[in-house]
Chains A and B, each alone.
Chain A
Amino acid sequence: DTAVSQTPKYLVTQMGNDKSIKCEQNLGHDTMYWYKQDSKKFLKIMFSYNNKELIINETVPNRFSPKSPDKAHLNLHINSLELGDSAVYFCASSQDKYRSSYEQYFGPGTRLTVT
């Protein structure tokens, strides 16, 4: 069983469109994250949700809006897509509650290409 899954795996779209990427984890974790990996392979956190509440919000344009319908899902909606949004987006999750290890489990990534 896949622990953290993302759909779609590939997404090609035109500038100005609105698109969503879905993420689901079946690990029973409390916290989920979105990361962006650019063309230089630099991995940077975008958002973090804990029990459906936004916890981390890095300096991301407000065209990006995460939505967490329940703690097993964290979707990423992007409005008015721009060329610079082209990247691989990774979803991750971690357990959270007084544990010393907070390792994150990453999904397979969604490669977004904006043309």
Chain B
Amino acid sequence: DAKTTQPTSMDCAEGRAANLPCNHSTISGNEYVYWYRQIHSQGPQYIIHGLKNNETNEMASLIITEDRKSSTLILPHATLRDTAVYYCIVRVAGYLRNLEIHLWWVISGTYKYIFGTGTRLKVLA
């Protein structure tokens, strides 16, 4: 089950900032928040991730509230090519089959994502 909730869709004018909210009220202290996007007919693309502090890279900024129960992805100057479905994901611990694999997993750090339904962002000309 997805651990995040996002609005189904949003519109944004080209050149304006797009602010995409995400609620993750059950997030654990060691779980990261990741953002991906999926442009039509393509594979998901990594955007940014964070734990507690706000983060910025060449694509976007991530603002995480102090209680970590929600976050906002900011695309500072949206373009038509930013039209996509944006997924907010909490990185969940890997699936364990038995104790041996559990110990090995702790060392190797394999994780899985649980994707929600995402927000369909439409950038308007």
Find out whether the CB atom of B115 lies under 8 angstroms from the CB atom of A43. yes
Q: Look across to chain A and name the residue whose beta carbon is closest to the beta carbon of B118.
A: A41
Contact A109 B42 (CB under 8 A): yes
- The smallest beta-carbon distance between B2 and chain A, in angstroms, is 9
Counting CB contacts under 8 A, is A86 at the interface? no
Tell whether A4 is near chain B: CB-to-CB under 8 Å.
yes
- Bound state CA distance, A55 and B118, in angstroms? 26
Bound Cα distance from A49 to B113, whole angstroms: 14
The contact size tier of chain A is: 20 to 34
Q: Which of A41, A57, A92, A97 contacts B97 (CB 8 A)?
A: A57
Q: Cβ of B113: which chain A residues have Cβ within 8 Å of it? A: 45, 104
1/0 per position for B91-125, CB-CB distance to A under 8 A? 10011010001000100111111110110000000
Identify which of residues 88-113 in chain A touch chain B, using a CB-to-CB cut-off of 8 Å. Answer: 90, 92, 96-99, 101-109
B residues neighboring A (CB under 8 Å): 34, 38, 41-46, 49, 85, 87, 91, 94-95, 97, 101, 105, 108-115, 117-118
In the assembled complex, 25 residue pairs joining A and B whose CB atoms fall closer than 8 Å, in A order, are A33-B112, A41-B85, A41-B117, A42-B115, A43-B44, A43-B115, A48-B95, A50-B108, A50-B110, A55-B94, A55-B108, A55-B110, A56-B112, A57-B97, A58-B95, A90-B43, A92-B43, A97-B108, A98-B109, A102-B109, A102-B111, A103-B49, A104-B44, A105-B46, A108-B42
